[in-house]
Amino acid sequence: MIGRVARALLAAAVLLPHHLPAAPAASQTATTIANFAFKDPVITVTAGTTVTWTNRDDIPHTVTADDGPPPSYRSHPLDTGDSFARLYDKPGTYKYYCSLHPKMRGTVIVK
């Protein structure tokens, strides 16, 4: 048993230095949907950032890629208080909209 634990710890010790520098600390950005609008219509982040939208309206919304048809992704309908998170790992300009209320649009710029 002890030997097994020791081996596991050793393996971890060997692996950790490899992994930590390769994966930069995960970056997070949170924003909201309110009053039938994406509150931050343009969000600028660095590559590797996860953007999270939380719906504060009484009406459901979605975060849907504006790259269709068909869109490359669409969140589930976000009821009040629901969130949707998406990792942006490559530089670029990513437009999105709400598929229920297509007048609602936003952009994520990844640097």
| Residue ranges binding other proteins (CB under 8 A) | 35-36, 57-60, 62, 66, 76-77, 79-80, 95, 97, 99-103, 105
- Which segments within 46-104 are labelled E, that is strand? 49-55, 64-65, 83-88, 92-97
Residues 8 and 29: their CA atoms lie apart, in Å, by 35
For the bound state, the minimum distance from the C-beta of residue 101 to other proteins, rounded and expressed in Å, comes to 6
Whether 73 contacts 67, CB under 8 Å: no
Nearer to other proteins, 49 or 99 (CB): 99
Rounded to 5 degrees, φ, ψ at 87 are -85, 130
Nearer to other proteins, 40 or 66 (CB): 66
Nearer to other proteins, 47 or 82 (CB): 82
For the bound state, the minimum distance from the C-beta of residue 79 to other proteins, rounded and expressed in Å, comes to 6
> Which pair of structure tokens corresponds to residue 14?
């060997």
